[in-house]
Each structure stands twice: as C-alpha cells, then as structure tokens.
Structure 1
C-alpha cells in the first residue's frame, strides 16, 4: 500500500536542471477520466477545466456543438445537444473530498494549524536538503534517516509552544525513531476505515506535495542507477505521524467531525464523480478535435518537386520554438533543408566540466547516459576560470557572512550605484550560464567537449551511424550540416533551466551539438562511415550552433576555420540565419508586445527582455504546444503551425527496421507529453500543479526549488506569468497532446504494446496518436487499439 501511494507522486527536477514533468505520471495506469475523478474526489485537485470555460468557448464560437456531439459519441457519453446545453448552464458541483485533521482545527482569528504543519515540515526539509545556499549546513546522520532527523528536530522545535501545541512533544517522545514502527503507530492511532485508508495517505502526502515531488526525484535518480532511496516513504511517515499526534490531542468535537466526514466519504456514490469527469473529458476532447481540424487541413498530400539536392542541412531541436525559426529560415534560403530531431542529437551523454564534483545529464531524463563527455580547453583557460570563480565566491561570502554583512552596506555605499543603475536600465548582460561563468568569449569559443578515449573506433563509428540515421541523413549529406541546439538567455529567473532544452535534461544543447559535430568531423570516423557505404561528400563539414530562444539569434560555435568549408556558402548561411531571426522575432513579438512592428525596435526589445532583472516574461517558452508531428518535412514545409507543434523529421523509407520510430515514440514523444501535461496541469489547477506568482518566488536550498513568499510548501510546475499575459488572457490552451505520425499502424501498435509507459499514456487517453497515411488521410488510434478515420 505504501509503495502504491508514494508512486502516485510525480518527480520535480532541481532548478539547475529543471525539466517539464507530467504531474499525472503516477496516475497513468488509470484512464484520464478515472484519474480526474480520483484526484478531485480525494485530494480536491482539479484535472479538467470548469465547465464554464467550455461554455464561454461555445458562446464565443471557438467551440462547436458538432464537435461536442462527436466527442460525446467517441467516448460513449449518452447526451444530446439539449442535454449538453443544460449541463453547460448548470454550476459545477465539487465532489466530497477527504478531510485532514489540521484543517478542521483551524479557527477564524487564530493561526492556521493546517498551514503550520506544512510550514514546520517545509522549514526542516529546506535545511535538511540545502545545497549550499545556507552558510551553516544542517547536521545529518545517514544512519538516522529523514524521519529520525525530523523527529530530533521537532523535539527541539520551540515554535510548537507558540502555536499552542507544546503538548505534542510528550506524545512524540512515545513514537519510535524507526520509520517503519512510526508508520505502524500512526496507522493504528488514526484507525482509518479500510476503504478510505490508501486515499487518506495520498491526501496526507499531497498536502506537502511539492516536497513529496522532490523526494520522488531522489527516488527516480536512485532507481536509474539501480539503487533506491527511502526519503519519500519517510516523508509520508512524517506526515502520518503529524496526523497521529493531532489525532491524540485534538478537541473531541473536531475528531467527531473528522470521523463523520470520513464515513460520509466512504459511503458516497463515486459513480457520480466519474460520470461528471467523463463529461468534462468530452468537452476537452471536443476542443482537441477543433484544433486537430486546423492541423489536418494544412498537411500536404503530395511532395513538392525539387530540382537539386540541398546545399545546407540545418538540424534543430523538435522544440515548438524551433518550428517558427525553421519555417522562416527555409523561406529566406530555399536551397536549405531543415531537420527536426530531439535536441540531444542522439548522443546519450553526461558531461563533466573540469572541477565539477559529478557529471550532469545531457540526455532525456527517461534514458540513462551511455557516454561520459569531459571539458577540454587550450592553455591555462581552465585555471584562469578557477581563479576568477574563486575570487567571486570569496567576495560573495564576505558580503553575506555574519561578521561583515552589516558593515559591508555601510562601507560599500555609493560604490554600488553603478551596479544598481545598470540593473535598472538593463545595461548588463543576461545572467551568465554556469558553462560560461569565469570565461571570456574567446576562451568559451575554444572549449571542446571530448568523448572518452576508451571508446574504440568501431564504437565511435556506430555512434555516428546512429546520429546520422536519426537525423534521416542516410540518403545523402549536404556539404554543410548545421547542428543547432538551443538555450535561453535571461536574468533573475530561478526557472531559467526550464527555458533550455528538455531533451538535454534542462541544459542548453551546446554540449550535445559540439560533441556530435566533433565526432562526425573526425577523419577516422568519416573514413569508417564511407567504407560502410555512407554517401558523405568529402568536403562535408558539421558545424555546432546554438539557437537563443529569447533573442532568436543563432550562433555558430566553431568549425569555421575548417579549410574544407565553402566560405561563400557559409556567408550565405549566416545572412539567412540573421534574416530568419528578424522574421521570427517579428512573429513572436505579436504575442509579447503586439504594438511593436519595426525590426530594429523588436530586436532591441528582445535583447532587453533577456537583460531586464524585473522581466517576468522574457519569452513564452513552450506555451501553446498541442501537437507532435513525426513525418517527412515536405508534409509540413511552408505550413504555419504558429509555434504549437513539436516537429520531428521521420521518413519510413529510411527506417526499414523501425528503430528510429521506436526511439521517437519512446523518448521524444514521451518528453513532449510531459511538457504538454505540465502546461495543462499548471493551468487547470495552478494552486497544486503550478508555482503561483513568479514575483513572489524565493529560492530554497540553493537549487532545490522555490517557495511562494517566505514559507509554505515547495512550489512546482509553471508560474501564472508563464501562462497568462498582463491582461490575464491565457497564452496556452489546455489541450492534451496529439501525435501525428507517418508510419504503419501495426508498427506503432507493436511499439505501444512493448513499452509499458507509452502504452499507459496512449491506452488511457493521456495523449492521442494519429496516423498520417501515404495519401495524407488521417486515422486515430482509440484506447482499445482500433484505428478510426478522422
């Protein structure tokens, strides 16, 4: 039972590698409607937009009754047009949810006990897990564990007296410091009726859900390495013991209300909640049908005739922001072909800089890195970086230390005016990325990402083949191939890693692009590829690049000194990248500041957004995402997808054994689903699945996460400013992801059947899969495995 409860929690990654997470990952074994009814009826967490949202869409003509009736038929909900109009007029009735003892103890005019319980646990966890933010570290004994440490902390906690709970200390002394024994004590003390027991434990864990997600991340990471971590189970124990202590000491009237409400919950008809959730899913599906129709109407049926092979091939991440740039780049340079591939470029690596304690992952978090890449630089650049960083760290420690922090303000005084003025006017550069900190631009340009020497030539050739096959380059390679990862430049933003590449585990794609280009330019590897039959022009050069999604500039990161390069063609490429950047900025600005039209003014505005410490919307990131398309580029070339689609190039003719298709559906598609559902959850219930107001965020634990204000639970998900504009208008439409894939249905069925995670997502309607047939017609896979024409 305990294991089932803790695995309902989705993980959250730390700020320095923040990636989007499907908040419903632990409920993927249930259908969408079942999970919605379950969460709403136990925790009180909303999973579907209020029906008034859909009523407004219908009223404004953004949703058609015909789509609602179609979705109703698809999902087997027996309701006609009259019934739906009546349903949409009725106010929503929230299901009964399970009560917690602390919230029943709350009294007007008195400190809230429910809030204090969360605050007390959160303060302890912030100190326990601190990653260098605090100048004094919390003493930890691994043998005692998380629960034992909390027990020791709470026995010394004087805030209990201020809350009128000092008598809890004597009760806590009777509780064992062994977590398993404490859980048993709590179960016996609470004596929850068996039908409600597991759900009640979920409610308790969700009451500190942000920190539960952090502990789930620790368990996730441990399991990737073949180990385990007991902290999440210990956190559940802490919350159970808190409830047990209050059960022993609460007023009799409070306990009677608590017992009555739990009994009422156990006999309540849950079928009513499920039926309402199914109707909510119909409305959601109707809005998805309306969006799919827009995509389907624009998909090409026949390829355009090409007179010659491309002079340049430019590979971009499948990120929705790349769709806009790719479209404009192709328009200004027709002899160039763009390619969409997950931003890790098929190199499953981790990366360790000189001086780092441990490597960081640069691979989708669902996969384990297979190659260890290290940093290399000419001369003494690394030593110079260490000296600069050490001086900066010592200066910061001096400013913050107990002995000097007050006198520093008096002493520094007017010398800080320049810095304050630069911050206010946005004159400084954006926050320095950790990879760039301590380095000059020239030193950074000369940094190399070195593959391990232990890799044999055959292994390197195999990696190169995997990359080229994934990129669809097994039918010819252009003289220049650009490998463009992406990252974001902004300042004063704790969640800046969330704007970087999700396929690179919340890092920029720079390392992966450099490593892939270095491998593919290796003369020995190139010779081996040619000997194995690869058609690669001897003059071909792979150039690493980085697409800044805040300013839309694309910077080529090296390789321009290669004597084989056609300098004239490189100049054309650079001019095309600059023109595409201008066009992309103009399009993106329509959502940020629609009154701006002049290209130079728009470019300055974008630059300013990245430097402005008070800017809450440096870019819209992936807001609006709704589709995933894996098909030949000619299907979508010149098609305006408005930055709402993940575009992955895939040609079935180049993948006879479906190896690439398997990779696409089990890694990039699942990552896209995580991104999509993080945006979805942050909109439908920002209180529980979002992180509230960005202006109020305070970093906790160095890189662990943020609190909203000066306390409370760890906040997860996306802020309101990432979802709404300054007029509170939504910039992301809450839709589940639709994957349009051009591949045989039987091949997709096999992949879905052979991958448990993907199978749950598809069969339980957390994402939809639509086949693009050879003639351009579309068929949707229903949860029962049938393919239906749409």
Structure 2
C-alpha cells in the first residue's frame, strides 16, 4: 500500500509538472505570436501606433508578401495612389528605371534582356489585365495544357484559421460568424464607461467569465453550447485542448494563433495592451485566443474531422500567361510554339515580378524623389547664421510637423530664434490638474513617468473650487446614471429635452458663439484660482509616484532639457517653452490631434514645469557650476501652440525683466500677422476652402468650435522626414509642414549620447506616427478606421463601424484623404536626416541594433549631411 501510494503521488506530481510545462509553452507561444499585432491604447489616450512594431526584424517586402498571403492586405500604395502622385509630378520616373535595373540585376532568368525589359516597362504602367483576355477560352486551354513546374511554393506558407475556409448553408463564412461572437464577448468584458450593467463574473478574468456564461449564450445552438461543456478551467489548458481537437500540427500552432490574432487585430491589440498594464491580466491575450478558438471549435464541430488547409501562394497560370500576352506583346500562337521549359521560365519571371514588386519599385522611386528634392532644397538654400547676441527671444517648439510653418513665419517677423525638441521636454512626469486625484502621464507612451506634478492653490480657494467642480461632476454623473437606468431613462428626455434641444440648435446654427458661451459659462461658474506647481519633493507611499523633484533632480532635468535643445549658451532675454495643443468639438479622435506621442496629453503642463525650474535661482546656480550660465535678466515663460487656430496662448508668465518685457511685447505685436499667414497656408490645404475669406482667423476658430466639422485640421498628414540638426540647416527652406525638426549640434555631443537619445526617443515616436499615417492610407479597410460620420464609440475604448466590427485601430478617412478617391497623405516611409560627420552616424548604427534593423529592413530611410554639406544616403 505504501509503495502504491508513493507511485501514485509520483504520477500525480509528473502530471502537475507536465501541466505547468504545457501552460508555460502555450503562454510562450502566444507571446511569440503577438508580434503580428500591436498594442492598442484607448482612444481617449490616443497615441501613434506602428502596426508592425513586432516585425521590424524582417524586411518590409517580406512582411508585405506575408500579409498579402495571410489576410489579403496590401501595404504598398495602390496603383491609383501611385498614378495620382505621378500625375502631380511627385515621382521622378528616372528613379523607377533605376529601381527596375536593380531588380533585374539581382534576378537571373534565361530570357533575352530586351524581352524582360519590355515586359517590365509595360507592367510598370500599373494597368490591369483586360477581363476579356482573362476569360478567353483559348487562354484557359493553354493554361490547362501547361505541364511545367508549379511557380508557387508552399514552403513556410502561413496557416489560415480553418473557419476562414468554410461556409455555412447560407453561404456565410464561419469566420465572419466567429468574429461576431468574439466582438460581443470583448465588448462585454472591456467596457469601462458605457454599459449600465457590468459583465457577471468579470473578476474571474475574460476566459473565466466567458466559461461561466457561455452555457447561457442564446447566440449559440444547444449542440454548440453542449460542445463547450466541461471545458478546461485554465485558459492555457483550454487553448492546448482545442488546438489538439482541431488537429493543428505542433509546428504550425504559432502560425495558427497568428492567423487568429490577425482576424481582429483591433480587439486583440486592446487585449495585448491591457495585458501589459497589470500583473493581474498578464495572460489576457492567451485568454482571448482560448475564447476565440474554443468558439471556433463549437462552430466547426459538425464539419469535423477536417485537415488544416494552408493558403499557398499559387499563381494562376491563366493570369501569368495573360500578363505575357498583354505586357510582353506575345500572341497566343507565339506562346503555343514555345517549349515547356521556355514557358516555365517565362511564367516564373512573371510570377516573381508580381504586383508587390512593381509597387515596391514605384514606392522607392517616390521616396527617392522626395529625398532628392529635399537634399537639393537644403543644399541650394543660402543659410544665414543667427547672431544669438542680437536675438530678442528664443522659442522652443515641439518637433511636431505642424510647428514648422509657425516657426518659419515667426522667424520672418523679427530677431527670434526657434528651437525644435521633443514636446514633453524630457520631463518624465504625470500631471494632475487642480482638485483632481487623477493623474495623466505627460510623456511619450514608450516611457514611464517617474514623478507626479500637481497644481496647487490657497486652501480656501481650493476648497471653494473643488465644491463647484464637484457640483458639475455630480450633475454629469447623475445624467449618465439616469440615461443608463432602465426606468429613469424613460423620464430623462422630458427633463433634459428643452435644454439639450436649445443647445443642439445653437451649436448647429451659431457654433462659434454657442461653444464660446458654454465654455465661458463653465469657466465663470468654476472660477479656477491662480495655481502653483508642486515642484518640491513630497514624501509619498512607496507604491505611488513621488510628488515633485529633489533639489538634485531639478538641476538634472533642467540641464538635460537645455542640452537636448542645444541651448547651453548665448541665452536671449526671453526664452519661451511652447507646449502643443489642439482644439476640436465632438471628435472621438480629438486626442489624435494633440501630441502624437503622449496619449492625447498637451505639452503645456510640461512647458510650465520646465520654465519654472529654469527660473529657480538655486537651479541656475548649479547649472552655472557645470558650464551653463543663464544671464540674470533672462526669463523663462511657458505657452501653448494651438495648431488648430495657430495661436500662442500664454500659460505661465512670471515677472519679466526689462529686456524680457520688450521681447514679450514684440512677440505679442507680431503674433496676429504670424497667425494670419500660417492659417492662410494651412487652410488652403483643406478641402472646400474658400480662398476669398476675409477673416482667416475667424474661419480657423469656426473649424475648431463647429461640432459638425469632421476635419478641423490635417493633423500630421503628409509627414515625410525627421531632420536632426541645427536650425540654420533648414531656416530658409519651406518644408511645407512635412518635417519633424529636432535641434542638434554634433560639436557639443562628442560621445554621441545626445544623438542616440534623439533616435531612441523622438526618432521612434516620429517613425510610429509616420507608419500610423502610412498604414491608414495604404490599407484603410484594415489599419484605418473608416468614415468619421459613421463611427460608433464603443465601450468607452475606441470606435467601430456599426455595432459589430473590429475595434478600429487607425486614423479615420478624413485624416488622410482629400476626397473619396484622392489621398492627401503621401504614404512614404520616414526619411531621417542627421547633420553630423559620417563616423557619428556609423557609431550610432553600430551601437543601436534595433535602429540598424529598421534601416536595413526598409522601415525607415536614413541620410546624413556632413559638416561640409555633403549629402549621403545610408540605405
């Protein structure tokens, strides 16, 4: 008995070990599969998102081919986008010829050179094959009689979900039905603000709650619910169980999981983001896949057993022969006289020179044209060297492309020097407004805050303000609760109807006046007092962010910010730290118009913090001892650059010295003229703009305050380059609001640390913004979010089209398209230009493997400008 007991215990222990190992293996497999999607932040914290961030260790072309095979998603610009750009003169065809020559030189086919070139030049016109040719009986007969080798290859072919290959009796794909079910469960679990009733058993996690409730789901038949009875309690074990039931080969499991993640990349991306926010939800993506594939099994069970089918990239022989007849100028008779070996060679050539390759050549020519013209502009423009001693004011702006026109016009109006720097000013802070316990990270989402800065006021003023604010919050909360309650929602329209009707009419017919009235009414009621900032360190619990900075940290952050700006000497009497903000009404994507990196946080708070630090006598004293001497009469102030109306709004102006006051008055005097010229330039780019408008500022304000406006501004559309160098490099250039501009002086960066930090931080953010716009333009149905006017805000998280679509992850149609058929954004991969000696750039590439991968694999392009003005391309 004793021996039997020991043996039984050993067997049980082995089972436990195997279970733990299987769970770890499955969780690891899910983690590896997650590379095909990207985290999706809630839309209220919108931040630019590179949808391919996990795939940058692979060539862009390889990912493009894989996505085409896996989801039929094109990530090269369409033929229409390319041909429109060509008609506008944005593509130099000489670069197309160069790209074709490179491709021909890199591929070897036993076909005469002139024949290959004739075929390729014709195919590069991007016209479609005639339908009458493709349906020709003679052509079909030729294809049927072809006995050569298969031009496609099944090696490493992606694995499709089985449900994507089957239809029910009504002709509806099972994957579509599966998506509908999964969307329903995701909305129930992830809802944070809209549902009146929360999901039962939610505390058990996504899989646990689903497992408890699935037996009562009226959307499934009795047999389907029965097939999920007694399902494993743990998500990882359920996932292991269901892939076994579906007979997915072990070596194909990860590919199968990837296929399911790509089916709904928005909802899966939200699960991925949530899994990284809390230790309690680390396995949320595993739970998501367990739910999804378990439900797939329930839908598939009547059709089982089925062997998994691979989507092989097999070219249509008919299409390949048709391409030679149409583009190769061959006749059917000429094709018929060719030997089987010759036919196979010709078909292989046409197969390799596919649509993706053709559009790749055009995209690279488009990008090279932009690069070439930018280099000519910079090289040919005679630059003036600023005399910093005569500079009246220095203004530091966010690197955002919308800052470039404003900076350019401001510099024309006086002795002003503008500086480009990351708009959070290197302050790793979360911010809390007066009277709020909630803090918002005010830095790029790729970083974590290390301090919390709060607004403060006199105790008596704070108490009164909080009471008034609480009244507004209580009214809003009561309205929401009544709206969501079954019984009170019947009474609510009678109570709120008159006021809301009046508000609707006013906002519709006099939007500017109505919005201004409502804003002033709220401001008058709240009467927010003058506030200070909690700059000084306050002891907190270890689990909370420390409030304020220590004396040493104040100096460190001030020094770091000034060094990143390149502002360590020759200070002007007035230094303006300009945050960035936008303004729009009734816009789910309002946060997307603010900082593209900081989750919808404006930069004003950070600007105020930095200006306050740099004005502290003790900070200046410590900076002086390290070589940064700030004159006594230099004063730092803070402002916000509102990109929707192109105004500077002062948010922190301490007592000014005489020289600083003169500079301040001068800026105030020229600001109306600057705003006028920038608005004239910006509004002219908007569709349906009336060029004869007399008051451009009023029109800009109307766009910002009209709740029917779907496009108050273009945001960062048409961004194309990130230029790292001294302002003199581009000061006389009209960059058309397409360039991120970051100040950099290589002579003050002997170690290369500053350049490395720019690339790792602002450079990464700029690339994410660039690829967000790129993806939303080239694949709007998959990576965009459709028409703003038909979007539905769901679960307080994001938007859908209708009530059961994927959670849309990209930008709306109105952010990238000029009209229904013409794009405004030019989908070019980001060009990074560094003003520094070649050895600096080489050191950067050698020391940063991730950056090197991005360049070599075609996710960004890199050029440099040497001290003698020589332009070098590194890709």
- Return the TM-score normalized by structure 1: 0.90
Give the distance between the partners of 1:60 and 1:611, measured in 2 at CA: 33
- For residues 684-729 of structure 1, the C-alpha deviation after alignment (integer angstroms, 9 at most, x for no partner) is 1111111111111111122x11111122211110111111124532
Q: 1:764 to 1:485 in 2, by over 3 A?
A: same
2:310 maps to 1:231: no
Distance (Å, rounded) in 2 between the aligned partners of 1:344 and 1:437: 31
Does residue 151 of structure 1 match 2:211?
yes
Shift of 1:773: 1.0
Are 1:680 and 1:736, in contact at CA under 8 Å, matched by a contact in 2? yes
Alignment of structure 1 residues 715-730 onto 2, 5 Å:
715-730=808-823
Cα distance change on mapping 1:126 and 1:364 into 2, 3 Å? same
Which is higher, the Rg of structure 1 or of structure 2? Answer: 2
Q: Show the counterpart of 2:97.
A: 69
Where does 1:210-225 land on structure 2 (aligned, <5 Å)? 210-222=266-278
**Structure 1 position 488, deviation (Å):** 1.0
In structure 1, the partner of 2:732 is 638
Match of residue 262, structure 1, among 285, 289, 310: 310
Alignment partner, residue 294 of structure 1: 373
User: Which residue among 454, 457, 466 is the counterpart of 1:377?
Assistant: 457
Q: What's the secondary structure of 2:636's corresponding residue?
A: strand
2:600 is aligned with 1:506? yes
Q: Which residue of 2 aligns with 1:785?
A: none
The 1:148/1:629 distance shift into structure 2, 3 A limit, reads same
TM-superposed deviation, 1:370: 2.5
Q: Verify the 8 A CA contact 2:158 2:255 in the aligned structure 1.
A: no
Matched, 1:759 2:807: no
Contact 2:174/2:299 (<8 A) preserved: no
Q: Structure 2 CA distance, aligned partners of 1:438 and 1:757?
A: 48
Please name the residue that 2:672 is paired with.
578
Partner of 1:368: 448
Aligned residues: 765
- More displaced 10-residue stretch of structure 1: 53-62 or 237-246: 53-62
Q: Check whether the contact 2:36–2:262 (CA below 8 A) recurs between aligned residues.
A: no
Which residue does the alignment assign to 1:42? 70
Report the secondary structure of 1:123's partner residue.
helix
Q: Distance in 2 between matches of 1:553 and 1:648?
A: 21
Structure 2 residues without counterparts, runs of 5 or longer = 1-28, 108-112, 135-150, 317-346, 539-548
Q: Of 827, 834, 840, which aligns to 1:747?
A: 840
Q: CA deviation at 1:306?
A: 4.2
2:281 and 2:836 mapped to 1: Cα distance?
Answer: 38
Structure 1 residues 306 and 183 mapped into 2: Cα distance closer, same or farther (>3 Å)? closer
Of 703, 709, 713, 1:615 maps to 709
Gap change, CA 1:43 and 1:198, over 3 Å in 2: farther
Distance 1:496 1:273 in 2: 44
Tell me by how many angstroms 1:15 deviates. 1.5
1:589/1:212 CA distance change after superposition, 3 Å: same
- Give 1:412-431 correspondences, 5 Å limit: 412-427=496-511
* 8 Å CA contact 1:69, 1:81 repeated in 2: no
The answer to whether the aligner puts 1:535 opposite 2:629 as a matched pair is yes
Question: Structure 1 residues 238-247 or 377-386, which shifts more?
Answer: 377-386
> Any conservation in 2 of the 1:168–1:249 contact (CA below 8 Å)?
no
- Relative to structure 1, the CA distance from residue 396 to residue 141 in structure 2 (aligned partners, 3 Å threshold; closer, same or farther) is closer
CA distance in 2, matches of 1:62, 1:463: 43
In the alignment, the residues of structure 1 paired with residue 249 and residue 552 of structure 2 have an alpha-carbon distance, to the nearest angstrom, of 62
Structure 1 residue 346: Cα displacement: 1.4
Q: Does 1:686 align with 2:772?
A: no
Aligned match for 2:361, one of 278, 282, 296: 282
Judged with a 3 Å threshold, the aligned counterparts in structure 2 of structure 1 residues 619 and 90 are, in CA distance, closer, same or farther, namely: closer
Where do residues 9-158 of structure 1 align in structure 2 (5 Å cutoff)? 9-51=37-79, 53-55=81-83, 57-58=85-86, 61-72=89-100, 77-78=106-107, 82-88=118-124, 89=126, 91=128, 99-106=160-167, 113-142=174-203, 144-158=204-218
Q: Is the CA contact (8 Å cut-off) linking 1:547 and 1:554 kept in structure 2? A: yes
Aligned 1:372-771 pairs, distance under 5 A? 372-378=452-458, 379-380=461-462, 381-427=465-511, 440=524, 446-454=530-538, 455-562=549-656, 566-593=660-687, 595-597=689-691, 600-702=694-796, 704-771=797-864
Take 2:431 and 2:348, find their aligned partners in 1: how far apart are those partners? 50
Contact 2:620/2:629 (CA < 8 Å) preserved in 1?
A: no
Gap regions ≥5 residues in structure 1: 783-790
Offset of 1:231 from its aligned partner?
0.8
Partner of 2:140: none
CA distance, structure 1, for counterparts of residue 353 and residue 47 of structure 2: 32
CA distance in 2, matches of 1:98, 1:274: 24
Partners of 2:394 and 2:427 in 1: CA distance:
19
The answer to whether the 8 Å contact 1:65/1:81 transfers is no
- In structure 2, relative to structure 1, the CA distance for the partners of 1:773 and 1:281 (3 Å cut) is same
Of residues 539-548 and 349-358 in structure 1, the stretch that sits farther from structure 2 once superposed is 349-358
User: How far apart are the structure 2 equivalents of 1:133 and 1:489?
Assistant: 24
State the secondary structure of the residue aligned to 2:236.
helix
Change beyond 3 A, Cα 1:112–1:355 = farther
Question: Which SS does the other structure have where 2:296 is aligned?
Answer: helix
8 Å Cα contact 1:385-1:438 kept in structure 2? no
- CA contact 1:696–1:709 (8 Å) conserved in 2: yes
CA deviations over 1:245-294 (Å, ceiling 9, x no partner): 233223x6xx76x75x4275699999957975444322211110011122
- Residue 62 of structure 1 and its aligned partner are, at CA, apart by 3.8
Q: Structure 1 residues 33 and 750 mapped into 2: Cα distance closer, same or farther (>3 Å)?
A: same
Cα distance, 1:646 vs structure 2: 0.5
Q: Distance in 1 between matches of 2:555 and 2:102?
A: 49
> Deviation per CA, 1:103-139, whole angstroms, max 9, x where unpaired?
4444585666433322222222222122222222223
Contact 2:568–2:629 (CA under 8 A) maintained in structure 1: yes
Distance in structure 1 (CA, Å) of the matches to 2:840 and 2:379 = 23
Q: TM-score by structure 2 length?
A: 0.81
Whether the 8 Å CA contact 1:41–1:98 is kept in 2: the answer is no
CA contact (8 A) 1:436 1:444 kept: no
Q: Compute the RMSD of aligned alpha carbons.
A: 3.1
